[in-house]
Amino acid sequence: MRKWLLAIGMVLGLSALAQTGKLEIFSWWAGDEGPALEALIRLYKQKYPGVEVINATVTGGAGVNARAVLKTRMLGGDPPDTFQVHAGMELIGTWVVANRMEDLTFLFRQEGWLQAFPKGLIDLISYKGGIWSVPVNIHRSNVMWYLPAKLKEWGVNPPRTWDEFLATCETLKQKGLEAPLALGENWTQQHLWESVALAVLGPDDWNNLWNGKLRFTDPKAVRVWEVFGRVLDCANKDAAGLSWQQAVDRVVQGKAAFNIMGDWAAGYMTTTLKLKPGTDFAWAPSPGTQGVFMMLSDSFGLPTGAKNRQNAINWLRLVGSKEGQDTFNPLKGSIAARLDSDPRKYNAYGQSAMKDWRSNRIVGSLVHGAVAPESFMSQFGTVMEIFLQTKNPQAAANAAQAIADQVGLGRLGQ
Amino acid sequence: MRDRILAFSVLLPSLLAVGVFVYGFIGQNLWVSLTDWGKDPAQALALRPELRFVGLENYRELFTGFVDVRFRQSVVNLIFFTLFFMAGSLGLGLLLALAVDRAPKGEGFFRTVFLFPMSLSFVVTGTIWRWMLQPQGGVNVLPTLFGLPPLSFPWLATREQVLVFDWNHLPFYTALAVGLVLLYVAYAAHREGERRRFLWALLSAGVLFLWAFTLGRGLKLLPYPETHGFSLALVGVILAAVWQMSGYTMALYLAGLRGIPVEVLEAARVDGASEWQLFRRIIFPMLAPITLSAMIVLGHIALKIFDLVFAMAGLDYAPTDVPAIYMYLLAFRGNQFAKGAAIGILLLLLVAVVVVPYLASQLRKEVRR
């Protein structure tokens, strides 16, 4: 009997020892984005060769599938050691309020990150006095893409406001361009909406929308839908069937003049379509949003009850370091969240975005999880559908407000 | 006695497994659907969520709540999808079966060809058909092969709806439909000479019609009109589903046709029956049981459809929404687990309405034997 107990004890002890040498990283970076993550993991292995890294990826754009898998795992009490999550309310509204994350303020203090990251970003990832995740990269949402050569041919300039945009759109339509704005499936329409909303409301009221100080039914917010409706009139009618890449293709083929898309479009055009940033294709802040950087960011957090907490903290340390960010981001096609990264490692687009990141006002994106909790975000698609079906700004505004009331938008953000 | 114990102990493991993993989870799901899980974000994904009992509140919100308009459209979509998918698969399957049955040669070849789509998964079918239904390619450019102008129907991208009705009239229409079914039951009972059943059915139908035309018209589910209809974007999805499943009904019908004794057909021919009369009086009645089982199988596939729509139009496109898609969206993206569970229960009830009467009648037949 005693022998048996001893044996069982030894097995248990050994397996505990072995477990300390593991780190499970949960993310949705596979395919095109896989190499960037792998480079980061290689760096981690150089520093901690004893640790076995388990790269648990679940594919699907923007993590649609990964987040569902993560939820079932967390509900089942089996959290990964660290997981990828959009910085901001997507993390806070789902995981932090449910008391499933550890406060990382100590790490930010230790590593001097409070100075290394811009304050606007720290604000977005803070809640109730804590800081809850380590941002690894930054993408920009409010960017308008075009081909300079084509615009020259048509004799138009990139518009700086939505009024200018609508005028340019009329000019282009008269020149026989059926749909001057290229648009894709539902989420890209929401993506366009947030650029329009930022321009119509301005950064202050944009923030007020999310902390509950400005209601969706306020005339100012209803006007967003009116402008959005007119902008949609410039877009292709078969949008629902196109992916964002196909919408970018329309611009590249000269079938459309402009596309509003996050700056992963730069990665697509440079890497996949082999175009040269700055000469073959060019960009500008989406109309009316000059000087504002609408950001979204992937970050890693530390769930409570992580089996390999120390390894996970070491991973977060690497993710937030200059070395880690400058290894990851040039491959991913994003820029570093830190203010001190090395511009020489990035291409022409990255350098320009970096300049804006350091000087612009920073606000968060809705569609990509920074400013609203998932309970609101997931139903914003319904609001969009109501608007597309009825073309009625007031109806869309009412629906948005009803959902905001239902999920308690703004109550969380305090 | 020993035999009984043995039989019982052999059955026990599977009884336990089914009890826990099927009925246990159905019960748990029912309980969740009666709670507020997901209303409070602090509880939604907590390690031990505290759930509060709220009764039928989730169901009420789904059918009459302002923000759940998408759920109602998805139900309407599902009903139309199921009807057209079943009609299409059965019709096309029967035609193919008759053609293959009559074909002088190459029967095996054609049977395989038509049956083959069934071996694909709905995801594959959906992806292929999404490509083919792109507004500027695929099916739409088909006529140009014959020198005709290309079609301009935008297929999945359309937002048009036909057969539009106001959701507030739903109780009225439902009562009307059920009343008509009851009338048919009465008619059948009358023909079979079952007086009691005839009277009961007639009476219930009468009461229902009376209610529909008096109180039913005045009933308002929502304080404002809300229109729903058959979205034409579904046509593409139905096309793909019929393409996939009609081979299956063909195989069923083919087996049925083979089962009709040649003697009966020849006797009818000798009696001077025309080809049409042959179909009308002999072949179709003898295929009826097959039609019924095909309808059950197709019906429960249609009611649970998720993957095909997911692959063809994605989760975010309301014109092709079905309840299963909306359930996934609410539960796993929006963290509204209780409401998701409520949709799950509703789907279960819908499928039960199709499957349970069938199972019951089968069971009764077996007992009679």
Segment holding A140, helix H or strand E: strand A137-140
Residues 6+ apart with CB under 8 A from B80: B163, B230, B234
Which CATH number is associated with domain A143-294+367-407? 3.40.190.10
A99:B47 CB<8 A: yes
CA angle B134, B136, B140 (to 5 degrees): 80
Using CA coordinates, name the residue in chain A closest to B328. A68
Cα torsion B239, B240, B242, B247 to 10°: value is 140
CA–CA separation, A371 and A296 (whole Å): 9
B333:A403 CB<8 A: no
Residue-wise pLDDT tens digits, B173-226:
888 999 999 999 899 889 888 888 899 999 999 999 998 888 877 778 888 888
The residue extents of the domains of chain B are: 161-229
CA–CA separation, B247 and B125 (whole Å): 14
Q: Are A258 and A180 in contact (CB under 8 A)?
A: yes
Q: What is the pLDDT of residue A19?
A: 40
CA–CA separation, B38 and B336 (whole Å): 4
Helix (H, G, I), strand (E, B) or coil at A56: strand
CA–CA separation, B132 and B126 (whole Å): 10
CA–CA separation, B289 and B72 (whole Å): 33
Pairing of strands A361-364, A298-301: unpaired
pTM over 0.90: no
Determine the distance from the C-alpha atom of residue B164 to the mean position of all C-alpha atoms in its chain, rounded to a whole number. Answer: 20
Q: Which residues of A touch B333 (CB under 8 A)?
A: 64, 67-68, 374, 377-378
Q: In what order do the strands lie in the sheet with A137-140?
A: A335-336, A137-140, A292-296, A361-364
Convert B93-130 to b/e letters by CB count within 10 Å (16 or more is b): bbebbbebeeeeeeeeeebeebbebeeeebeebbbbbb
Q: What is the pLDDT of residue A5?
A: 52
Question: Would you list which residues of chain A are within 8 Å, Cβ to Cβ, of chain B?
Answer: 64, 67-68, 71, 74-75, 77, 93-95, 97-100, 185-187, 237-241, 305, 373-375, 377-379, 381-382, 385-386, 388-389, 398-399, 402-403, 406-408, 412
Q: How many CB atoms are closer than 10 A to CB A198?
A: 25
Residue in the structure block whose two tokens are 């695929």: B138
Q: How many CB atoms are closer than 10 A to CB A67?
A: 24
Domain with CATH 3.40.190.10 in chain A: 19-139+296-358, 143-294+367-407
Q: Are A31 and A63 in contact (CB under 8 A)?
A: no
Q: What is the pLDDT of residue A164?
A: 96
Nearest neighbour of B45 by CB, restricted to A75, A386, A403 = A75
Q: What is the pLDDT of residue A407?
A: 85
Nearest neighbour of B332 by CB, restricted to A68, A382, A399 = A68
CA–CA separation, B293 and B354 (whole Å): 11
**Is residue A16 classed exposed, middle or buried when 0-12, 13-18 and 19+ CB atoms within 10 A define those classes?**
exposed
- Where does chain B have alpha helices with state H? 2-18, 25-33, 41-44, 57-64, 69-102, 107-115, 122-132, 170-192, 195-211, 217-218, 234-259, 262-270, 275-278, 284-303, 307-313, 323-328, 337-368
Low-confidence ranges of chain B (pLDDT < 70): 368-369
ipTM: 0.83
Q: Are A44 and A315 in contact (CB under 8 A)?
A: yes
Q: Are B110 and B267 in contact (CB under 8 A)?
A: no
Give CA separation, B31 vs A307, A408, B25, B54, B342, in Å: 32, 24, 10, 10, 9
A74:B155 CB<8 A: no
Residues 6+ apart with CB under 8 A from A51: A21, A22, A23, A44, A45, A311, A314
CATH superfamily of A19-139+296-358: Periplasmic binding protein-like II (3.40.190.10)
A64:B315 CB<8 A: yes
Q: In what order do the strands lie in the sheet with A134-135?
A: A52-57, A22-27, A82-86, A298-301, A134-135
Pairing of strands A82-86, A282-285: unpaired
Nearest neighbour of A185 by CB, restricted to B45, B314, B328 = B314
Residues 6+ apart with CB under 8 A from B306: B322, B324, B325, B328
Using CA coordinates, name the residue in chain A closest to B130. A241
Q: What is the pLDDT of residue A135?
A: 96
CA neighbor of B157 nearest in space, from B232, B243, B73: B232
Nearest neighbour of B70 by CB, restricted to A68, A385, A402 = A385
B156:A100 CB<8 A: no
Bridge partner list, B257:
none
Nearest neighbour of A379 by CB, restricted to B313, B314, B334 = B334
pLDDT average per 10 residues of sequence, chain A (414 residues) = 53 45 91 88 93 89 84 92 93 92 95 93 92 95 96 94 95 92 92 96 95 93 96 91 90 95 92 92 95 95 93 95 94 92 92 94 94 90 89 93 87 54
CA neighbor of A265 nearest in space, from A32, A67, A31, A91: A32
DSSP A100: -
Q: Are B323 and B80 in contact (CB under 8 A)?
A: no
- Quote the tokens at residue B323: 């309840």
CA–CA separation, A229 and A388 (whole Å): 9
